[in-house]
Chain A
Amino acid sequence: MYTEREILESLSKVEASREQRLKDRENIKRMTAEDKEAILKAYHPDYKDDNFENLKIGVNKGDKVPHELADMLQANPRINTADIDLANPTYDVDVLVIGGGGSGASAAIEAHEAGANVMMVTKLRIGDANSMMAEGGIQAADKPNDSPMQHYIDVMGGGHFVNKPELVSKLVNDAPEAIRWLNELGVMFDKEEDGEMTTVHGGGTSRKRMHACKDYSGAEIMRVLRDEVFNRNIPVVDFTAAIELIKDVDGKIAGAVLLNMETNEIMVARAKAVIIATGGAGRMHYNNFPTSNHYGATADGLVLGYRAGAKLLFADTLQYHPTGAAYPEQILGALVTEKVRSLGAQLVNRDGVAYIHPLETRDVNASGIIRECCARGEGVPTGTGQAVWLDTPMIEMIGGEGTIERRIPAMMRMFGKYDIDIRKVPILVYPTLHYQNGGLEISANGMTAVENLFVAGEAVGGIHGRNRLMGNSLLDIIVFGRNAGQQAGKAVNAGITLKDLTLSHVDAYKAEMKDAGIETDLVSPKLLPTYHHREANK
């Protein structure tokens, strides 16, 4: 419950203006293209040059990335290559999937469907992934007033028109099929009584195409995919991280070096195709932001791929979700789903003013909150920083009593644990590090420039350009996860002959570091963040 004087004073202003804001809500103007550009340049962290540095080595030498990522890309490998016995692998499979989230599980299921001998490795458990935490929904143009082209335009506009067209086209064309696949696996989508999918808007969508499973959308999808992996008896080696990729002497991908997270045992997995499905990087805490991401989101796949010669695309662009929880401090940075705004809650400043349209794209709304708090003095002090209000009681005034419990039960529960009833009082929010827009570059077949090295999910760059829309990440893990599994299966079926295995690319990378004068004690991939003592408050 709110007890601080300044919060309570502002709260009464929010309550006082609510009736009028409700009446005026259809009239809030969307920002013009020029306004949007101006607010991004002034307030979005992606546009602050201090937050970035240029890479000194590798395929993207000279390109800018966040400091924290540069540190990991230009750190020492965790192994001495001479110590690794490549001739006697512990595992020998057709397809190795690295990562236990939604894209990894989708890939494994499809590779299995194609008849391949597939194995998943994950440094935590299958399902410990951002997929599990996606709340709001999944986009697909499956209504008569919508089309893949309409979806395409929204994706490109949201991404600032730099997305790779072949990837966007695949994303939107395969979207309805992805929903069908999930539904037939048994995912419980919200539907009307006649079977029509219940859909709403997300930020930046021009049609109501956001499908959901209450506000447990990702959890529902992930637990079904996990169940399906188990039903197929696909081996899942958990608490085991990939710490380096292996090639054959011709330069084709040939497996990975694995690390048991509990015993520190090093193992070798030989594989004819490898799918990187390692997810995002919120736990790198870029620019000291809190994050909505799960514990293992540390950009491991980017490091593995980069050392093996795969290229990064848009690694300098990150998504700050506008509505991270800012109060109470126990849940600082936790995701407050965009669906809260889809259902009608407005963003409101200290004085009770709805200063922006709640469904501008994420980058614009994050910038708007930073502007209110840091430039206009319109933020509410929370004790740990500044915040604006997200006026949740409006949802029930618009949708009727019971809407919150029915449509966003997870949000009600998350705040309810701290005696904040979101049906009755609004909540305080501030942007939180949410998504890695960029990642490893792939073609429409899911493959990187390294032969038979595939990437799927958040570790991919190019699908979402410089800003992802809500609901397109759950979509991309399914579309590109399935695609990577199918393509890897196909490649294996067509016949892949591996020659002798080698880690020479790791040695070459070390030599390149030395030549560039990089001396560091850091090792990578990071695998897990370290939170001790006061840092634990973050």
Chain B
Amino acid sequence: MENMVDVYLYGKKYSVPSNLTIMKAMEYAGYQLVRGCGCRNGFCGACATIYRIKGETELKVALACSTKVENNMYVATLPFFPVVKQVYDVNVIKPTEQIMMQLYPEIYSCIGCNACTKSCTQGLNTMQYIAYAQRGEYEKCAEASFDCVMCGVCSSRCPAGISHPQVGILARRLTGKYIAPKSEHLYDRVAEIASGKFSDAMQELMGKSIDELKELYNSRDIEK
């Protein structure tokens, strides 16, 4: 007999095996999920979940796909949360302090309560990356927010109405495009290909028989 625990899905009690994740417990209970289920492995942020263990005051957050059920767990899901996504042309904006002020001025209303950090399903220091964004330190903001899955729980807990995941991605795009050093070898190769430098060799290769290709493949040198 499997070890069973009681979980309360949206307040209704179900008995489920203790080894299941919250997501699989919902399916075990009979739910056919449409919302609140994406990659099922902690990358997409579709299954943000808020729960409380009966008798405890602390409100906990998790991704339903990668968190085990516990006895007396009261579960509510957050399949969608209305965050603010400002529209911009990445080729026009520049990594200046003003751009955050223009697009996401609410970040300067942060009251330092740290509810965002406490609620991050990825364990990120969310308030810190918002602080970096306030100061225009986009590279640091990008690094600190890099593992964000954009589930939106932080925004749901923020008294200042900040859309943290959108601030993070703006900082990352600015960093990737403008701040990180340019890869010269990449541009050289793109230009070589455009100039047709490899065209003849490629045409010849495409015309090779399977046996000729096998010979080339099996004798190719492999970089150490």
A369 beta carbon closer than 8 Å to chain B: no
Set B33, B185, B202, B213: member contacting A169, Cβ < 8 A: B202
Give the Cβ gap from B177 to chain A, nearest Cβ, in Å: 4
- Knowing A149-B198, A185-B173, A530-B32, the reply to whether A414 touches B42 (Cβ < 8 A) is yes
Give the Cβ gap from B124 to chain A, nearest Cβ, in Å: 11
> Quick check: B44 and A133 within 8 Å, CB to CB?
yes
Closest A residue to B62 by CB, please name it.
A417
| Docked complex Cα distance between A262 and B32 (Å) | 11
| Docked complex Cα distance between A85 and B67 (Å) | 45
Query: What residues of B have a CB within 8 angstroms of the CB of A223 in the complex?
Result: 150, 169
0/1 interface trace, chain A 302-340, chain B, CB 8 Å (1 if under): 000000000000000000000000000111001100000
> Quick check: A161 and B213 within 8 Å, CB to CB?
yes
> Quick check: B87 and A176 within 8 Å, CB to CB?
no
B182 beta carbon closer than 8 Å to chain A: yes
> Quick check: A227 and B28 within 8 Å, CB to CB?
no
Give the Cβ gap from A192 to chain B, nearest Cβ, in Å: 8
Give the Cβ gap from B30 to chain A, nearest Cβ, in Å: 6
> Quick check: A149 and B34 within 8 Å, CB to CB?
no
B40 beta carbon closer than 8 Å to chain A: yes
> Quick check: B42 and A180 within 8 Å, CB to CB?
no
B76 beta carbon closer than 8 Å to chain A: no
Give the Cβ gap from B14 to chain A, nearest Cβ, in Å: 11
A179 beta carbon closer than 8 Å to chain B: yes
Set B42, B174, B214: member contacting A410, Cβ < 8 A: B42
0/1 interface trace, chain A 168-184, chain B, CB 8 Å (1 if under): 01000100110110011
Give the contact stretch, choosing among A7-15, A86-94, A124-132.
Answer: A124-132
> Quick check: A409 and B187 within 8 Å, CB to CB?
no
Query: What residues of A have a CB within 8 angstroms of the CB of B85 in the complex?
Result: 227, 230
> Quick check: A295 and B33 within 8 Å, CB to CB?
yes
> Quick check: A224 and B146 within 8 Å, CB to CB?
no
B13 beta carbon closer than 8 Å to chain A: no
> Quick check: B181 and A195 within 8 Å, CB to CB?
yes
> Quick check: A186 and B177 within 8 Å, CB to CB?
yes
Give the Cβ gap from B170 to chain A, nearest Cβ, in Å: 8
Give the contact stretch, choosing among A53-61, A137-145, A247-255, A514-522.
Answer: A137-145
| Docked complex Cα distance between A227 and B193 (Å) | 29
| Docked complex Cα distance between A189 and B173 (Å) | 11
Give the Cβ gap from B196 to chain A, nearest Cβ, in Å: 10
Give the Cβ gap from B89 to chain A, nearest Cβ, in Å: 7
Give the Cβ gap from A467 to chain B, nearest Cβ, in Å: 13
Closest A residue to B206 by CB, please name it.
A165
Query: What residues of B have a CB within 8 angstroms of the CB of A262 in the complex?
Result: 34-35
> Quick check: B46 and A128 within 8 Å, CB to CB?
yes
Give the contact stretch, choosing among A40-48, A201-209, A450-458, A479-487.
Answer: A201-209
> Quick check: A149 and B142 within 8 Å, CB to CB?
no
Query: What residues of B have a CB within 8 angstroms of the CB of A220 in the complex?
Result: 146, 172
Query: What residues of B have a CB within 8 angstroms of the CB of A414 in the complex?
Result: 41-42, 66
> Quick check: A177 and B122 within 8 Å, CB to CB?
no
Query: What residues of A have a CB within 8 angstroms of the CB of B222 in the complex?
Result: 30, 206
B190 beta carbon closer than 8 Å to chain A: yes
> Quick check: B147 and A216 within 8 Å, CB to CB?
yes
Query: What residues of A have a CB within 8 angstroms of the CB of B149 in the complex?
Result: 219
| Docked complex Cα distance between A458 and B185 (Å) | 29
A187 beta carbon closer than 8 Å to chain B: yes
> Quick check: B90 and A228 within 8 Å, CB to CB?
yes
> Quick check: A186 and B173 within 8 Å, CB to CB?
yes
| Docked complex Cα distance between A156 and B208 (Å) | 11
Query: What residues of A have a CB within 8 angstroms of the CB of B172 in the complex?
Result: 186, 188, 220, 224
Query: What residues of A have a CB within 8 angstroms of the CB of B210 in the complex?
Result: 161-162
Closest A residue to B169 by CB, please name it.
A227
- Knowing A161-B213, A191-B181, A227-B173, the reply to whether A417 touches B67 (Cβ < 8 A) is yes
> Quick check: A295 and B193 within 8 Å, CB to CB?
no
Give the contact stretch, choosing among B3-11, B17-25, B50-58, B111-119.
Answer: B17-25
- Sample 21 A-B pairs with CB under 8 A, ordered by A number: A128-B38, A128-B46, A142-B183, A142-B189, A153-B205, A156-B213, A161-B213, A184-B177, A185-B173, A186-B175, A196-B185, A224-B173, A228-B90, A261-B34, A294-B41, A330-B19, A413-B123, A417-B67, A536-B24, A536-B28, A537-B17
Interface residues of chain B, those whose CB is within 8 Å of chain A, are 17, 19-21, 24-25, 27-28, 30, 32-35, 37-44, 46, 66-68, 85, 87-90, 122-123, 142, 146-147, 149-150, 169, 172-177, 180-187, 189-190, 193, 198, 201-202, 205-206, 210, 213-214, 216-218, 220-224
In order of increasing CB-CB distance, the 5 nearest A-B pairs are A186-B173, A195-B181, A157-B217, A128-B38, A188-B176
If A331-B41, A417-B67 are given as contacts, then 5 extra A-B residue pairs at C-beta distance below 8 Å, sorted by A number, are A30-B222, A194-B181, A219-B149, A414-B42, A533-B30
